[in-house]
Amino acid sequence: MTDALVISNTVLWIAVVVLGVVVTALTRQIGLLHERLAPMGALAQQRGPEVGDAASVHVLTDLSGRSVNVGGPLAGTRTLLFFLSPSCPVCDTLLPTLLRVARDEAPGLRVVLASDGEPEEHHRFRSRKGLDDQYYVLSRELGLAFAVSKLPTAILIDEEGIVRAKGIVNTREHLESLFAAHELGAGSIQQFIARAQSADDSVVHLEARR
């Protein structure tokens, strides 16, 4: 009877040890998978003003005849500049999400929709999408100033008129990543992750040299 209990306990302890090894291995694999699938932010653009640069100042008139200033200090208000086109299917799909994200970030956030082309087309698009209350400007110069080459592109400008985040946005996660990057003090989520990984690598090298 005693021998049976000893054998049973031994088997149980072996099972616990094996289970611990399996859990450790799974935890490591989950960690590696998390790193590989790290949240991706807006697709960074290399052209145009850099994050940290002052945005060029533009005094524009929107489709409703209102004066809209882009760039330069704007007390207590950040600007999310969103470049779109009526013929861009991703822009069309993303607009409701854009407005929801803007409401989540309010107060202190102003959305400015920007494009170029024939005003009549944009008036129809604005009416169809229910954007009559949104700032909507047509300016080829504005797109050139920010070197917009793909749509939709979003640029976050802070209260002082400084570009804080920018990129091509295709999803809600891309949009939210602009605000997250700003709060983290980085130009993009990718930049923040790369900076964090570089810092980790530096710590590993320092520990290895000790």
Q: What local confidence, expressed as pLDDT, does residue 2 receive? A: 60
Residues 99 and 29 reside in one and the same domain: no
Domain that holds residue 93: 58-193
Rounded distance between C-alpha atoms, residue 168 and residue 171, angstroms:
10
**For residue 205, is it within any domain?**
no
**For residue 144, is it within any domain?**
yes
Residues 89 and 133 reside in one and the same domain: yes
CATH of the domain at 94: 3.40.30.10
Q: What local confidence, expressed as pLDDT, does residue 184 receive? A: 85
Residues 101 and 19 reside in one and the same domain: no
Rounded distance between C-alpha atoms, residue 202 and residue 63, angstroms:
52
Residues 169 and 78 reside in one and the same domain: yes
Closest CA to 91 of 55, 60, 128: 128
Residues 117 and 183 reside in one and the same domain: yes
| Residue found under tokens 């959305």 | 111
**For residue 199, is it within any domain?**
no
Q: What local confidence, expressed as pLDDT, does residue 185 receive? A: 78
Question: What is the number of domains present in the chain?
Answer: 2
Mean pLDDT of residues grouped by 10 in the chain (210 residues)?
Answer: 63 66 51 39 72 96 97 95 97 95 90 97 97 96 95 96 95 92 73 57 48
